[in-house]
Amino acid sequence: MLIDPKVVRLVIFNAGGGIVEREIKVSLQQGSNQFEIQNVPASFDPNSADILLEYLQPEDQQKFTLQQTTVSLPDTQTSNQIIDREKSAASNIISYSIDFTREMRERITRLCEASKYRTYSDMKGTFNFIINAKDEGEVKVKILYFIKDTRIRWNTTLQVNIDDSGKEAELEGFLIVNNQTGFSYDNVQLNFAIFQLPSKGFEHDHISNVVPPQESVAQAPNLRNEMLGELNRFQNVQPAKLKRTQRFKKLL
């Protein structure tokens, strides 16, 4: 059965990515019940994906058991080919269509923009699970997964209003959530964490998504790359340059 559990909680990491918590109450028939979760981004981490059953009645614990979860990600190469085709089609629409009405123009622009910014992470992953039931009934299912997509992140901005004495100030802190992914989260409980996803594996996934095979070959170790590596290491040890104050000067 195809299900679309509501996203109830989203923990966003400041360095990008986060944890998604989804919830749904499902009806179970006696026997094996197979479910397929919709709208799971391809940026989800199959290794950390988890299903938790919350029993409505204490006796349900004996009746319903989670048999297995099945997770998989779409093929990178095929997905990138599809994305490239869509991007090309969007570009052609913009180039050759001049007779749209105002309303149509805005809608089509939105669609074309969505295609232009689409990446592998906006494709859909597969997340299925099977619950065995000894009897009919209902159970609440909680789905948890990491999203390894740095296009969703948060940062803060601090507004400091200094008073006339210059010794006291009023602070206003704002949280800015930047969601450049293709997924929307409607009325969710938001949590913010200072966290960076481990780059190993994560980087590998993304590099394989964006670098065409012929460029990967060029990355084979050679003298030039080694020398560049040395140069980069040298640059890394240079002391950071300090910024200069540029105070606002009232002209009028």
Partner 1 sequence: MKASIPTRKKVKLEWFKSKSKLTIERKIDIQYTSNSVFSNKINQYAIVKYILLKAGEPVEIPPNSPMVLYKNNLPFLFLNISECVGSKIISEDMIDDDILVDDDIVHVKEGDPKISFEDAKSPKEHIEVRTRYDRISRLINIENKLEEPIDIEINFKQTKDITYIKSTPQPTEIEEPTYKFKISIPSESKTKITLELQAKIVKRVTKIKPEYLEKQK
In the complex, minimum distance from the CB of residue 1 to partner 1, in angstroms, rounded to a whole number? 26
**Cβ nearer to partner 1, comparing 100 with 117:** 117
**Cβ nearer to partner 1, comparing 52 with 175:** 175
User: Which whole-number Å values give the CA distances from 64 to 39, 89, 133, 143, 179, in the listed order?
Assistant: 25, 48, 5, 16, 37
In the complex, minimum distance from the CB of residue 105 to partner 1, in angstroms, rounded to a whole number? 18
**Cβ nearer to partner 1, comparing 70 with 191:** 191
In the complex, minimum distance from the CB of residue 13 to partner 1, in angstroms, rounded to a whole number? 10
In the complex, minimum distance from the CB of residue 217 to partner 1, in angstroms, rounded to a whole number? 34
Count Cβ neighbours within 10 Å for each residue of 162-191 and write b for 16 or more, e otherwise. eeeeeeeeeeeeeeeeeeebbbebeeeeee
Packing angle of the helix pair 102-117, 76-96 (nearest 10 deg): 150
Query: Which residues make up the interface to partner 1 (CB under 8 A)?
Result: 10, 14, 113-114, 117, 152, 155-162, 166-190, 194, 242-248, 250
CA distance 130 to 109: 41
**Cβ nearer to partner 1, comparing 157 with 214:** 157
Question: Can you tell me whether residue 57 is helix, strand or coil?
Answer: coil
